[in-house]
Structure 1
Amino acid sequence: MDDFDFIPIFGYLAALLTTISFLPQAIKTIKEKNTEGISLVMYSLFTSGVLMWLVYGIFVKDTPIIIANSITLILAVTILALKIKYSSNAKLK
């Protein structure tokens, strides 16, 4: 048991917690289709940052970073697309 490496557990827990913390907002935004309170600039920067973390994780072959950022990127791109779509719709009215 002395040889057990606890470090990867921290990576997986961090990945799990940060991804789960993002889910309620993503689900609410997708269900309600309300993006009024979301900043387009902030979400664009956030989505770009998540993409960069994913690429970094791939480069360093870090599974927790790859898994967490893959899931978060899918959700972030979805919300960003909804923000762009509904912001465009509001301008057309």
Structure 2
Amino acid sequence: MDAFEYIGFAAAILTTAAFLPQVFKTWKTKDVSGLSLPMLVMFFVGVALWLVYALFIDSPSMIAANAITLGSAFLLIYFKLSYN
């Protein structure tokens, strides 16, 4: 693993961690009024494509970040459909 991959992991931790409080807050409050379903779906598809790209270029930091973020986005879509 080279130095650039360490930078990638730092970015992955920060960007993924920034998304988790929204998931937790939505789960606790069940308030989805501020979430846009079209935005969540577009975000989910975009992250899925980033994950495919990361797999092709074999980037562990991108794979980890996008896999976790994909799960978080899926949860928000599930919450939006369930709690709405």
TM-score of the superposed pair, with normalisation by structure 2 = 0.92
Identity %: 43
Counterpart in the other structure of 1:36 = 33
Deviations 1:50-82 (A, max 9, x none): 111111111111100100111111111011011
Q: Would you say how many aligned residue pairs link Structure 1 and Structure 2?
A: 83
Cα deviation for residue 19 of structure 1 reads: 0.5
Q: 2:46 aligns with which of 49, 64, 68?
A: 49
Local SS of the residue matching 2:70: helix
What's the RMSD between the two structures over aligned residues? 1.0
Counterpart in the other structure of 1:70 = 67
The higher radius of gyration belongs to 1
TM-score of the superposed pair, with normalisation by structure 1 = 0.83
Q: 2:7 aligns with which of 5, 10, 17?
A: 10
2:47/2:66 contact within 8 Å kept = yes
For structure 1, which runs of at least 5 residues remain unmatched after alignment? 88-93
For structure 2, which runs of at least 5 residues remain unmatched after alignment? none
